[in-house]
Amino acid sequence: MTHVDLAIIGSGSGNMLPGRDLGTAGIDQVAIIEGGPVFGGTCLNVGCIPTKMFVRAADAAAEARDSARLGVDAVVERVRWADIRDRVFGRIDPFAVSGEEYRRTGKHTSLLRGHARFTAPLTLEVDLLDGGTEEVSADQIVIATGSHPHVPEIVRASGVPFHTSDTVMRLDEFPARMMIIGGGFIAAEMAHVFGSFGAQVSVIARSSRLLRHSDQDISAAFTAAAMEQWDVHLGCEILALRGGTEGEEITAVLSDGSEVSADVLLVATGRHPSSGDLGVQAAGVQCHPDGRVVVDEFGRTTAPGVWALGDVCSPLMLKHVANQQARTVAHNLAHPDDLRRFVLTAIPGAVFSHPQVAGVGLTERDARERGHDVVTHTQMYGSTAYGWALEDTTSFCKLIGDRRSGALLGAHLLGPEASTLIQPLIQTMALGTPLEEVARGQYWIHPALTEVVENALLGLIDALRAPKEN
């Protein structure tokens, strides 16, 4: 049996843990265990980074097709799928390989490529990818196994070939028609990518709106925009799937009586925490009913010496959340007498689709359900000078405030650069800065698009000060 000071299961955000602080705390020998096909976790290989590289190319195609309204007659002559794909993974794959080699040959790290499961407290058995097993014990263990795509049983049972976000970006041939099951952020981003590249995209969602967890106004506006671009089926269950063998088209029979056919099926129905095959019971690690590992505010599980971070324990499966938790756990491992808490406030998210969406804090519905005296203000992009330049009539920034405290409760944007424009609002909420200070305590460049945020803040301030209507 191999013994180490620290064992880390997962090479995504868990790979951030080894460093100087651990060494000074006597955590000298660190084993990283990765059972997936590639090193580096979801974000690097099949998540945030490759998807956004595809999105950038899709944005270029969409902008060209949309330029006529600005007086520029442009066309997309051809989309070279293989070149786009190879540009993306030609950068990512070598990075994953070099990261694996760095950990394999590191002075204080060892790398085990295999699937780990607990056999006893602080004890693991690793089924090595190249055969055989190895037992590892550790003074402390961090579970950072991330998440994996959820595939509904009706899809699995049908025998129809399908892709998830783990595989669809490496398609050999670009499909003429794509069917996407799901109405969340992965479905929205992939619909934008493949639709902008020229595929006929059909989106099938059980909910009545796409991005249903977003603020209702944002979700409604995004759904309307989606229905102008793609073949969208809302409030539909899939009753049956057939086809897909030997070049045959795939057909879905829907609960509304319609049928949808395509060449490729993408399942984008969410992700589940990767905890089910870790043998956590043997370690004394408890999980929530949805599979998330139970942790306290410091990242400690219910088993002494075992920690967890990222998608495997977080209700928000976001890379920036996993990274923040990794920094916190690294500090707590190195400084057991000075524990830091996970940051669970002002957590933003973005959807890189067309249009782009970003949000932080409460939705209007959530704020009202929590008993806040809610005040809202919506600022259209088109009310600003740069909005004129864009000839924009649909994009907006919606702010939600509390009349009693004057605090910003939530901010939600739909439109170009939403994921960037929201940052001053994230900062406002995270630091608790008074709205007046944010809006008037600094310069806002004119005529930059950030004036949308400035004017939204000023509008919310006025609304908070206005007499309450009976």
Q: Which domains does the chain have, with CATH numbers?
A: 2-148+272-334 (3.50.50.60), 153-269 (3.50.50.60), 355-465 (3.30.390.30)
Q: Which two tokens stand for residue 24?
A: 């000074």
Q: Which amino acid is at 467?
A: P
Residue 397, pLDDT score = 98
Continuous segment of H or E residues that includes residue 240: strand 238-243
b/e per residue 35-45 (b: at least 16 CB within 10 A): bbebbbbbbbb
Residue 467 DSSP one-character state: P
List the one residue out of 347, 345, 340 whose CA is nearest residue 300: 340
Cα–Cα distances (Å) from 7 to 113, 341, 467, in that order, read: 13, 21, 59
Residue 247, pLDDT score = 82
Separation CA 309–CA 298 (nearest Å): 10
β-pairing verdict for 133-143 and 123-128: antiparallel
Residue 354, pLDDT score = 98
Separation CA 65–CA 72 (nearest Å): 10
Residue 176, pLDDT score = 98
pLDDT < 70 regions, the chain: 20, 470
Residue 470, pLDDT score = 67
Continuous segment of H or E residues that includes residue 425: helix 423-431
Separation CA 68–CA 176 (nearest Å): 25
Active site residues: 446
